[in-house]
Every structure is written in structure tokens, then in C-alpha cells.
Structure 1
Amino acid sequence: MAAPILAYENLGIIQGSGWLFRGLDIHIGARDRLALIGRNGAGKTTLLKLIAGKIEADEGRRTIVPGTRVVLLEQEPDLANFPTLLDYVLSGDDAPARHEADAIADQLGIDLTRESASASGGERRRAAIVRALAMDPDVLLLDEPTNHLDIAAIDWLEDWLGRFRGAFIVISHDRTFLTRLTKQTLWLDRGSVRRAEIGFGGFEAWTEQVYAEEARNAEKLDAKLKLEEHWLLRGVTGRRKRNQGRLSKLHEMRAVRAAMMGPQGTANLSIGSDDVRTKVVIDVKGVSKSFGDRTIIKDLTLRITRGDRIGIVGANGAGKTTLLKLLTGELAPDTGHIRLAKTLDRIVIDQQRSLMAPNKTVREVLADGGDWIEVQGVKKHVIGYLKEFLFEPGLVDALVGTLSGGERSRLLLAREFARPSNLLVLDEPTNDLDLETLDLLQEVISDYDGTVLIVSHDRDFLDRTVTITLGLDGSGTVDVVAGGYEDWEKRRKQRVLGGKRANPRKVEPTAPPAPKVKLTYKDQRDYELLPKQIEQLEAAIARDEAALADPDLYARDPAAFDRLMKAIDTARARKDAAEHRWLELAEQAEALG
């Protein structure tokens, strides 16, 4: 292993009345791609700030190669003292060059002259990314970089990081983002840190082995695990197994829903034996909506039935919020009509988390200060209910203001899911949640008896939860696809919408029409065979990463460990080349008609 360019030995920091973590040893190589994983409240953000040198440790020694530039992309950058986004981007002694910032801003699609006070969450996030990337870092520390970004911007960031020549550590709830980019994992767990030379694709298999080994050791010592640890070990592994069963059920639901789709993607429920009127929750016929000269929704026909899980995806500004307001009756269409079932009783969980008053206790938020809470008509003790949402019992009287962003989001979910309802509206529900809470949210949505509408840019989460995806491309057309994000993406690729990944803001000039000639025999063969090759390479990478998850492999067989590492790097390079080649051929095929 090459010498690290940044390291911490025996790192420890006190938070509140005790140690948040202690005795951590961390090293970062010049080209490491590290996923930093841990539950909300474990200290992931604090650890990034320590590595960046933004805060002082209570014990430990930090070493860094002279000249190494470490840049931290914070989850919530403070823009209060900057009139415009550009003032923020170019602030400080270590400010990036103006031309570097402008070049990245143009690619990412952000107007830096925008006033900071009126900027949206997505605009503030993009400005922070511009500043971080333009500073030319050697080590880049990213805290939830995909929060508030649309899919086009996430694709662009993935491409940039794929070409990045330095090291990075990333905290993210976006499984797809982590799987595509990371090659090593730091797992912050119960005050200690473990490192594995595997990307996030092999993380779950690795943690299952660690948990199993801990359970065996506890049994050998005849020691009783602490209540919280027993609950964690059994709860997390059990939930993952249950979610595998739920995924199988979800695929069955998608197949049924696909069979109900007409040729235009509309639901034809007349084939069912039940009374259609008792099943239809939202009935949309020929709906269009425009603002000024711009058409947002064009001629949409759709029936949403009881039990459907609807995912709404698209770039920022494509019309997701407008569509959501139309479907919930908050906005009237210009043409067509929308009929909502009279018995709808909705819960709306938005991005602002506005119900979480910082001066209230957890007990007050959940149970109005009492010991019991009614959950969907069933009375539960507040501490037992908190454990269902991965809270430790001692937090029941903590102030909301002392919780992390992810813990506040989880508390809001616990509060809202307790209320009786038959329509659940979730606007970017995955922001700030850790991976275990995402597993829990997937479980709760799967078990929910009513209908769910989800606006999200989290591709993996949509693939795990929704039965129908409504995809918006900004033209007013709404694709209605039985399945999740991946199914929508396949539809888009088949129609070659956009070809290569485009600038998320700029509209490229129309190229002159290509002469009408055929693809060569080799090009045609590559165009047909490359998708299958890409699938095979993805499967090979996942298989090898799972093998690397064995914590004893390096000590037992270092040669096999090296072979697997090289095989994964080779497969990733071949996959990237194959995808690039297929996109080029897809553009040619589109140009040829």
C-alpha cells in the first residue's frame, strides 16, 4: 500500500458528556475513493470536519503531506453574509480563480449572480459544489453532495468525480451514487471505525459478516449483549432480509400494473372483477397545464388506484411540483379533469421539515409530552415506538434542536406515520437519512395500506419502492412506466432522449442533419451487443466486490485479494468504455433516423 497523503492516529473527540468516538486510526491514499458510512448521529459530519482541519480533536495526531489541499463540501454551507452566490464562491483566502468557477458553473447549470437570500436549496447546493471543485483539491470531502440536486446534475457530478485525479471521501444516502463511484469503505459504527478495500457495492455483505462474527463471539463468551446492540444487530440484518422479500412482492405488483397499462400508458381497470370506482383514488383524463407560453403538463391520462406507489422524477424545473399539486387537487388543470376520491385523508411530508420545533422534546413532538402514542389506531409506548424508528430510548426527552438533520427527519416520519391516512405524499423524503433509515422507510412504505406519491431523485430508493414511475422531460410529456427509475431510464435510452449526458441548464444548438447512411456492420453489432456486455460487467463487479467483503481474505490469501482488486478496476474501465461507445452509437442511430 502506498504511503497516505493524510492520516489521523488515535483520533478522539468529546461531544456532550462523553466521547463521540475515540482511538480512531484513519489513512487516505492519493487516489482513494472512500464511502463514509454510519448511522445518523454516529459522527460522520464531525469526522469529515476533523479530517479537513476545520475543528480540533480532543486527542490524536493529524499528519498531512506538505502542499496537499483538502476541501470540504459541507452539507449546509452558511451563505448568510454573502449578497450573491458568486460572492460566496469567491470568498476567503483560498478562493478559486474566477474563470475556474465560471467554467464549472456553466457546466453545472447555475447562475452565480443569483442573490443568496432568494436562492433555492438546489441553487445553494450547486454553488457550494462549484466552489469546492474549482478549488482544485487533492482531497475532496463531500457531505451529502446529491441533496437538492436533480438527476441531470447528479449524473454530471458522477462524471466529474469519475475523472477526478485526487482522493475523495463521501457521505451519501444515494446508494446508486456510492456504488458507481467508491472503491473503499469507512464504516463508523458504535464509536469505532472499520476500513474495507471494497466499494459500497460490497458493503452490505461485509457488514453481515461483521455482525455474524460479533454474535458468535458474544455467544462464545456467554455474554449478554447490551439491549441497544442486540436490537441493532438483529434489527438491521432482519430488516434487510425482510426487504428482500418485499422487493419480490414489489416486482409482482409491477408486473400486475404493467398488465393493466394501455398502449398509451393509461390504466385500464375494467378487466378487474372488483368495482372500479372503489379502487380508483385519483382519475386523470386529458389534463394539460401551462404557465404563460410554457407547457408543463400535456394531455396526461392516468388512473391511480388504491395501493399504488407512484414515483415522480425529472430535472429541476421539469414540472414535478406542478404535477404533484395537480394530482393532490392543490392546482386546477387548464384542460381535462381530475377526480379525487371523496374519502382521501392525506399526510404530506415536505423537504422543509417545518413541524420540528427545536425547543420541543422528542416526547412532546410524538406524544404531546405523554408516555403513549396511538399508531394507526393501536396504542404504543413512546419509547417502544421510537425504537421502531432506530432511536435509542434515552433520546425521548432530548430537545429536537440537539438532533442531527437525519434524526429530525426520522422523528418527523415517526410522527406522521402514526396518523391514520390513506394517501401519503413524500417530497424528497430521503434527504439527510442514513442507509438504515432508508431501509426502514422502504419497509414502512411497503406495509402502508394506502396510496403513495413520491417525488425523489434517489434512484435506488425509487427502484425499491414504487410500482409506477411518472417521468418528466420538461417538454410537457409525462412518461408513465410500470416500474422504478431503472425502468424509466431504459425507456429513455430506447428512445435515445438526449444521447450523451447533457448540460443540466443549457439547451444545445441543433446540429445540422446527418446524411442518411447506414451504420457499418461492426457499429450495428456493437450497438446491439454492448448493453448485454455492460450488464455482464456490472454483474462481474458486484460478484468480485462481494468476494472482497470477506474480512479475512487479505490475511489468508493476499494474492487473491490483489487479483480481485485488479479485476474490478479492469471491469470498471471496460464498462466505462462500453457505455461511452454505446452512447456514441446511439447518437449516430438517432441522427440516421
Structure 2
Amino acid sequence: MSYLISLDHVSLAFGLDALLDNVKLQIAGGERVCLIGRNGAGKSSLLKIVEGTCQPDSGTVWRQPGLRLSCLSQTLPSDREMTVYEYVAQGLASTGQLLAAYHALTQKIALSHTERDLAELEQLQHRIDVNQGWAFEQNINTTLSRLELNADQKMADLSGGWQRRAALARALVSAPDLLLLDEPTNHLDIHAIQWLEELLLSSSVTLLFVTHDRTLLRRLATRIIELDRGQLTSWPGDYDNFLRRKEEMLHAEAKQNVEFDKKLAQEERWIRQGIKARRTRNEGRVRALYAMRTERAKRREVQGASSFNMNTAEQSGQVVIEAKNISHHFNHTPVIHNFSLRIMRGDKIGLIGPNGAGKSTLLNILLGELTPQQGSVTHGTKLHIAYFDQLRRNLDLEKSVIDNVAEGREFIEINGNRRHIISYLGDFLFTPQRALTPVKALSGGECNRLLLARLFSQPANLLVMDEPTNDLDIETLELLEELLSEYQGTLLLVSHDRTFLDNVVTSTLVFEGNGKVREYIGGYQDWLRQRKTEPAPMLQPARQPAQAIHQKISKQNKKLSYKEQRELDKLPAKIEALEHQQNELQTEVSSPEFYKKSPDVVTETLAKLKKISTDLEQAYQRWQELEDRSS
């Protein structure tokens, strides 16, 4: 068998316990290997060793000569001054630099150009021809389009989620022999995840990936390797087979440990017998006892599982929320149109739709945080709402874990039981020492467990959860699933985790484009069975970015006057500038510090934002008008 990479007796330690303890791993061409393990087990460190960005303490790492390797890590990109196209093209090394230069120059020439620009463009075209780079350009454009990325937007202007999309595009465009993916579905909507699945299934690329998305795992993995207490175990077959065999192995391990501990206790009693026994004792037996003590000291126990419960409030009224004929739009683009819904006590409702479709807007309207432009929303009686925010805005990064949850309290009451805060945090796998750690030092999985600890400490009968599954390991995820399934209150859940939706919700609200929101009974798979056709609008952004405008300018003909043609040529740059100004002002206005400024400054800034939004909408309308006439 031809291996792409091989690890032999590799060890790595941070602190007292080894993350990798003398492990071996081989990956053959064509395999799709899923690496699973608890948060903090060392999965990301193992990927870095495979990639070559982290060196093991001992052992050897062999890579096939000429191996093309690409990696998507959990950390956000650091090259923030580049455009998205330039950043993604970096995944193609020297060819990518040529394509990035060609792309930037064509954007410049579309507005105005010199003879020198045209000569440089011709030279770039020749060099790309020599390097057979045009196929890679098509690959870049296709990948950017599928991930709905604006090629000409600055990386610095992207949110964390969109930066991660750009990093995924960069990892994909190089067509590597071995692709390393660390939680690739975080911040992707369902259609982007499905596209990623189909791409990876249809390609010949070898995969080593970490994921908590069990649907992705089941579809992709040809082999599962588990990292547990420093050891790697390979499990052929699918995820369900792994679960069954893992349970059998843990049962056998527990039985063996009980028998070992029983024998050790017997030997300890023997060595402590009186003088007569010591005079006649067998020295071989003594040496065996010392060996057993050493073996017991080296044993690493199975890490405890989360065991949290939620704090429930008194029952709400039978009708929780009623929305009648609500509509809402942004810049004349419908987000929600003529939508009605009655939420009853005990309903568990999932929200499905692409990023930016309006899921958060609908939640804010239903919760009374935003007034719809048309229609009405009525709340029932005795509502106690708890909100899980994926952006973690409610966490104070400078405060410790314990201060973020306790808020000055030493004890927390959970369903009538008084719990010490340290004991309560232990249910979420925070040791007493870790509970004193500042939040800014936590991993992504720990931050989400902290959010759950905050959420479940509040008495609530209406839970609102926005992407609660990101960064959680599978065991914690399945416990949360079970907890929400048994929850007697009402749940509103935004999630792109298809298995999680199937196992938790009783109905789904699907954003099908053009403001249409439709309710389906059941979870994600139930929606797939019920819908008649693929809702194509879900794959498209609400409006075309400036990148798409540039691409359409080539469709020019003589229907426009010279003056109108010049106006059309200049509109993309104008729209890009307006979009940039709008993004900057929206970021400023959304900051909590903004409204602490003087009333005059606040009023002036809001008026400026409104004017830019109006100018941008007019520019889009004018571009569409001229473009329609020129096509």
C-alpha cells in the first residue's frame, strides 16, 4: 500500500499529560480519515504535526516526496489587508500570484487604462499560459462563487465567519494530494456544507479531517481514528460501527481495571502483614507488586462526561408567541414577507436558511427586539427567555469563568437544588483551576460550554439558541441533544447541524428566498422529503456583489449611448466604495460605545448611514437598468 504520510512513535506533551504518547499513524492515498476526540485531546496539534508546522517531542514523520498538502485550521486568517481573491490565490503559490495580479489589473482596466497596463496584461496572460494557470483561475472563481465570497472585498472587512470561508476556499483551490480540515463546517450554512460534501466525495483528494458534524462524518469518512488519553486507535467502518465497538472496548477496559485494582489491593494487604510474613515473603512477588504500582500510576482515566441540567422556570401560557402577517425588508430587499406563525408551549422549532437570509431578523422580531415593518407579534403570559448567542457578546473576556456565571453569587439554585458554583461548573467540565481562568484564554469549545453554563443557570421556559453546536465535541453535543429533546419548555433553534436538527426539533422554518418563510413538520430530513423541488433561491445572495457586476460588464452592445456606457463602466467602482463606507458605518453604529457619544454626533452618523444606503440602492437600480439595456 502506498502511504502519503506516516508517523512512527510520535510523542508530544504540553503540561503533565502527553497529548500524543508514542503514537503511530499511516494514511494511504484515497482515504478519507476522520479524527475524533474530546475537546483538548490534541486533535489540532496532531494536524499541525502532519502539516509540518509543529514538531513532535520525539518520533519521526515521513511524507511522500513531492506531496502537495493544504490545511484549513480553526484560527482566522492573519493576512487582512489583501483582497479575498489575492488571499485565496495564495493557495496556488507562484501561479496564484500571477492570477491575483491578472485579476487586479483587469479590474483596473475596466475603469480606465494606459498602453502600459495593456502591455502588462498581455505579459501576464503569456506567463499564465506557460504555467497552465487558466484552469486554476476557473477553480478559484467557481470556489468563490459557491462560497458566496466577493473576490474584491478586503479581508479586513469580513466578519470572522466570512474570513473562515475565505480560508476554506484557499485550502480547496490548490487541488492538494492531502487536505487537512479542522472543523470545516463551522460558520457554513447547510447548502455550503452540502456543496463541500459533494466536492470532497467526487474528488480524489485524500482527507484527514476533524468535525463534530455527524452527517458530514457519516457521508465522508472511510476510516475513523480516535485520539483518547494520548493514544490513537483506528476504527474501520462507519460512525455507527465505531460507537458500538467503542462502547464494547470501554466496557472491557473498565472490567479489566476492576480486576487489576482488586489484585493490587490483595497484594498491598499481603505486603503489610506482620513480621512473620515479611521473613518468608517472596522477593519476586514484591517486585511484581512494585511493577503493578507503577502500572497503576501511569493509568489515565477516561475523562468525565458533561452532566449538565437546565434551570426551568414555571410553565408559560399555552400560546407562547403569535405572529400575524409580518413583513420586513432591508433596502427594498424582502427578508420576511407576509409570514404568520403561532408558537405553542412545548414546540421545538428549527430555523434553516443560508447565511444572511434573515434568521436572526426573524428571531429578533419574534422576541420583540425588532418591530416588523408590517404585521404584529403578540407574546403569551409568564414568558422567561434565555438566549444563546453564537457571537458570545454576553461573555466578558477579561473576567474569569466563574465570574461570568456566578455574577457575585457563591451558590446557584437549579430546579430547587442549591449548588456551589464550583460544583455547578464541574458539570460543564471546568476544573476548579480552570474556573478561575480568564475567558480570553479559553478554547472555542470551552467558550461554548461556558455559554451553556450561563444559559442553563437562568430559569427559562423559552430557550433561543443560535448555533450552539459550534466547537463542541461529539459527546457533549449528544448530551445537549438529549437534554433539549427532554426539555418541557419551548425552543427556537438556529443550526446548520442536520443531525442535531433531526434529533431535536418538531418543526422547521425554512427561508426559501424572496422573503418566503415556510413551516415544515419535523427536522431536516423531513423537510427534504416534504419539499417538492430544490429551492434554488437559497443558493443565491439577496443581491449581487460588486464582483458579479464586474463580470457582467463584458455583455456590452450598442444599445447604450456613449455617455450611458461611460456611466455603466464607472458604476461598479462607485458601488464598491459605497459598500465599503456602509460597512464601516454599520460597524461603528453596532458598537455599544457609539451611543455614548454626543446626540449631535449620533444623529449625524445615523443620517449619513441612511443617505449612503439610499445612494447605494439607487446605484444598484441604475446599474440594473443600464445592464438590462446592454444585454
Query: Into which bin does the TM-score normalised by the smaller protein fall?
Result: 0.7 to 0.9
Which deviations, in whole Å up to 9, do the C-alpha atoms of 1:31-83 show, x marking residues without a partner?
A: 11111101111111111111100111111110011001111101223235433
Report if aligned partners of 1:4, 1:29 keep a CA contact under 8 Å in 2.
Answer: yes
Q: Work out whether 1:106 is the aligned partner of 2:145.
A: yes
TM-score, normalization by structure 1? 0.73
Q: Work out whether 1:296 is the aligned partner of 2:295.
A: no
Tell me how far 1:132 sits from its aligned partner.
0.6
Distance 1:18 1:383, change over 3 A: same
- 1:38 matched residue in structure 2: 37
Q: Out of 387-396 and 330-339, give the one that drifted further.
A: 387-396
- 2:268 matched residue in structure 1: none
- 2:21 matched residue in structure 1: 22
- In 2, Cα distance between the equivalents of 1:293 and 1:427? 26
- 1:485 matched residue in structure 2: 524
- In 2, Cα distance between the equivalents of 1:231 and 1:166? 34
Q: Work out whether 1:398 is the aligned partner of 2:437.
A: yes
Which deviations, in whole Å up to 9, do the C-alpha atoms of 1:311-355 show, x marking residues without a partner?
A: 000112322122111111112222221101253222221111133
- 1:70 matched residue in structure 2: 69
Which deviations, in whole Å up to 9, do the C-alpha atoms of 1:182-205 show, x marking residues without a partner?
A: 110010111211111223342211
- In 2, Cα distance between the equivalents of 1:298 and 1:93? 44
SS at match of 1:317: coil
Tell me how far 1:378 sits from its aligned partner.
2.7
- In 2, Cα distance between the equivalents of 1:93 and 1:338? 52
Q: Gapped runs of 5+ residues in structure 2?
A: 100-136, 266-295, 310-314, 549-631
Report if aligned partners of 2:90, 2:170 keep a CA contact under 8 Å in 1.
Answer: no
Equivalences for residues 443-462 of structure 1 within 5 A: 443-462=482-501
Report if aligned partners of 1:96, 1:134 keep a CA contact under 8 Å in 2.
Answer: no
Which of 251, 274, 277 lines up with 1:212 in the alignment?
251
SS at match of 1:193: strand
**AA matched with 1:74:** S
Larger Rg: 2
Which deviations, in whole Å up to 9, do the C-alpha atoms of 1:181-233 show, x marking residues without a partner?
A: 1110010111211111223342211221221121221233245999994673x
Equivalences for residues 164-179 of structure 1 within 5 A: 164-179=203-218
- In 2, Cα distance between the equivalents of 1:154 and 1:391? 31
- In 2, Cα distance between the equivalents of 1:279 and 1:95? 64
Report if aligned partners of 2:79, 2:87 keep a CA contact under 8 Å in 1.
Answer: no
SS at match of 2:196: helix
Report if aligned partners of 1:33, 1:167 keep a CA contact under 8 Å in 2.
Answer: yes
**AA matched with 2:506:** T
- In 1, Cα distance between the equivalents of 2:47 and 2:77? 17
- 2:464 matched residue in structure 1: 425
**AA matched with 1:217:** Q
- 1:56 matched residue in structure 2: 55
- In 2, Cα distance between the equivalents of 1:146 and 1:80? 22
Q: Gapped runs of 5+ residues in structure 1?
A: 243-275, 509-593
- 2:89 matched residue in structure 1: 90
Tell me how far 1:384 sits from its aligned partner.
3.0
Equivalences for residues 427-442 of structure 1 within 5 A: 427-442=466-481
Equivalences for residues 310-325 of structure 1 within 5 A: 310-325=349-364
**AA matched with 1:379:** R
**AA matched with 2:55:** E
Report if aligned partners of 1:463, 1:486 keep a CA contact under 8 Å in 2.
Answer: yes
- 1:572 matched residue in structure 2: none
- 1:546 matched residue in structure 2: none
- 2:12 matched residue in structure 1: 13
Q: Work out whether 1:189 is the aligned partner of 2:228.
A: yes
Q: Work out whether 1:136 is the aligned partner of 2:179.
A: no
Q: State the Cα RMSD in Å.
A: 3.0
**AA matched with 1:312:** L
SS at match of 1:94: helix
SS at match of 1:221: helix
Report if aligned partners of 2:72, 2:180 keep a CA contact under 8 Å in 1.
Answer: yes
Which of 372, 376, 393 lines up with 1:337 in the alignment?
376
TM-score, normalization by structure 2? 0.69
**AA matched with 1:373:** I
Tell me how far 1:93 sits from its aligned partner.
8.1
- In 1, Cα distance between the equivalents of 2:46 and 2:243? 22
Report if aligned partners of 1:361, 1:399 keep a CA contact under 8 Å in 2.
Answer: yes
Tell me how far 1:412 sits from its aligned partner.
1.5
Which deviations, in whole Å up to 9, do the C-alpha atoms of 1:466-488 show, x marking residues without a partner?
A: 11111111122222122111111
Tell me how far 1:293 sits from its aligned partner.
2.8
- In 1, Cα distance between the equivalents of 2:142 and 2:534? 27
- In 1, Cα distance between the equivalents of 2:30 and 2:220? 12
Report if aligned partners of 1:319, 1:474 keep a CA contact under 8 Å in 2.
Answer: no
Report if aligned partners of 1:110, 1:505 keep a CA contact under 8 Å in 2.
Answer: no
Distance 1:307 1:91, change over 3 A: same
Q: Out of 324-333 and 142-151, give the one that drifted further.
A: 324-333
Give the % identical residues: 40
Equivalences for residues 364-375 of structure 1 within 5 A: 364-368=403-407, 372-375=411-414
Which of 416, 436, 444 lines up with 2:455 in the alignment?
416
- In 2, Cα distance between the equivalents of 1:230 and 1:69? 37
Report if aligned partners of 2:464, 2:492 keep a CA contact under 8 Å in 1.
Answer: yes
- 1:3 matched residue in structure 2: 2
Tell me how far 1:158 sits from its aligned partner.
0.5
Tell me how far 1:95 sits from its aligned partner.
6.0
Report if aligned partners of 2:91, 2:174 keep a CA contact under 8 Å in 1.
Answer: no
SS at match of 1:421: coil
Tell me how far 1:392 sits from its aligned partner.
4.4
Which deviations, in whole Å up to 9, do the C-alpha atoms of 1:133-166 show, x marking residues without a partner?
A: 1112111000111111111111110111001212
Which deviations, in whole Å up to 9, do the C-alpha atoms of 1:434-485 show, x marking residues without a partner?
A: 1111112113323434221111111111111111111111122222122111
Runs of 4+ with deviation above 6 angstroms: 224-228, 503-508
- 2:585 matched residue in structure 1: none
Report if aligned partners of 2:147, 2:192 keep a CA contact under 8 Å in 1.
Answer: yes
- 1:149 matched residue in structure 2: 188
**AA matched with 2:487:** Y
Tell me how far 1:368 sits from its aligned partner.
4.4
- In 2, Cα distance between the equivalents of 1:396 and 1:129? 33
Which of 150, 161, 165 lines up with 1:126 in the alignment?
165
